[in-house]
Amino acid sequence: METKKILLVDDETKSFEILKRVLSNSNWIVESASNGEEALKLLKDSPFNILVTDLNMPIMNGMELVSRVQAEIHPKPKIIMTTAYGFDEVRKRAMDLGVYAFLTKPLDYKVMAQTLYKCYEGSKNNASSIVHQNLDTQRKKPPFIGVGIAVSTGGPQTLKQIFNKWTLPSEAAFFIVQHGPEWCLESIAERFNSELGVKAGLAKDGELPKSRQVYIAPGNHHLCIDPKTYKLKLVDSPPEHFLRPAADPLFRSAAESLGPHFLGIILTGLGRDGTHGAQLAADMGGKILIQDPGTAIAPFMPKSAIQSGVKHQMATLEGMRQAIEDHVSKLSKNL
């Protein structure tokens, strides 16, 4: 009997539970990983026929994993990618990387079984890659342009300079992840309203964002956007970069929810938060704007994003407001 090995990769382990049971009962050897970094280690240790990976994951997202597999793994598995929604930019990027099949969630297990069979036969015959499109082509466009901001050390002063007395673009809702304790974030929200003249508040779970408003991630929760409803989600998943809230979960969820209708911004701060999420956002067709490190109180977060090679534009602190307005104006033409 032939050995058939498959690696399932998703940070939401429940997503593949049914599939894992079905495959195990069909003589597949099934292993799993919760992110791309774990998956890459398993792939280097042992060959697999098929890799099924989610797109939106912490530490290393699905697109980055595929790139690393193509460059570092021999023999290469056939790759199936899953995601909540498939924007054209993502499908094209997946095709360029040699993804065999691209499926949307929730998974149709009959379609998945057929795809796995074709994929396995292709791996034996060294068939060229194709992209199977099981996609919602009628998906409605989001009700707003999403502007996500990652900021840490020096954040309050930086945000004040950008937002003070600013009439926000009518098409955009703003989401800010400022690293800090709960009391500090509450104070920042109050200051937006009382001093800066900008409508803002701590984000609430289940809230539907509105244009010309600022939503600040509350203490001890990651702020995310639901890809099906566009409502806000407050998530108590583990800290990332030792931080909660962190910007990477916001950027990843916004990339999957809003795709080419998202602008990710990385401002002053220590560490690397925002870098991985920015990479996924760019892969999904979004735009990335990074503060010129020379104008940042703490240049490390901007430098990290720049050094990652993500496609971006850079703006000084003084030019940041105008740069945001220009990007939102361009993105809103597709709404």
pLDDT, tens digit, 9 for 90 and up, residues 189-238: 999 999 999 999 999 999 999 999 999 999 999 999 998 899 999 999 99
Cα dihedral value 233, 236, 241, 243, nearest 10 = 90
Q: Which two tokens stand for residue 81?
A: 């990618």
Q: What is the arrangement of strands in the sheet containing 172-178, beginning at the earlier edge strand?
A: 200-202, 214-216, 172-178, 145-151, 262-266, 287-291, 313-315
Share of residues in the chain with pLDDT > 70 (%): 93
Its pTM stands at 0.78
pLDDT at 290 exceeding the cut of 90: yes
Average pLDDT over residues 140-159: 95
Strand boundaries in 65-208, DSSP class E = 78-83, 101-104, 133-134, 145-151, 172-178, 200-202
Cα dihedral value 233, 237, 242, 243, nearest 10 = 20
Distance of CA 285 to the CA centre of its chain: 11
Residue from 179, 221, 276, 327 carrying the catalytic annotation: 179
Res. 118 pLDDT band, cuts 50 70 90: confident
Distance of CA 293 to the CA centre of its chain: 23
pLDDT at 123 exceeding the cut of 70: no
Number of C-beta neighbours around residue 196 at 10 A: 18
pLDDT in tens, 174-192: 999 999 998 999 999 999 9
pLDDT in tens, 7-58: 999 988 777 777 787 777 777 899 999 999 999 999 999 999 999 999 888 8
pLDDT of residue 131: 47
- Listed in sequence order, the residues at least 6 apart from 328 whose beta carbon sits closer than 8 Å to its beta carbon are 145, 147, 169, 171, 172, 263
Average pLDDT over residues 266-281: 95
Q: Which has the higher per-residue pLDDT, 140 or 116?
A: 116
- Residues 325, 221: Cα–Cα separation, whole Å: 29
HSE-CB at 223 with a 13 A cutoff on CA atoms is 27
Number of C-beta neighbours around residue 47 at 10 A: 13
Q: For this structure, is 327 an active site residue?
A: no
Would you call the peptide bond into 75 cis, given omega within 30 degrees of 0 as the criterion? yes
pLDDT of residue 137: 45
Asked whether the CA dihedral 227, 204, 283, 169 is positive or negative, the reply is positive
- Domains defined for the chain, CATH in brackets: 4-134 (3.40.50.2300), 145-332 (3.40.50.180)
Q: Yes or no: say if 241 and 59 are a contact pair by the CB < 8 Å rule.
A: no
Residue from 11, 54, 273, 283 carrying the catalytic annotation: 273
Residue from 152, 253, 257, 304 carrying the catalytic annotation: 152
pLDDT of residue 188: 96
Q: For this structure, is 273 an active site residue?
A: yes
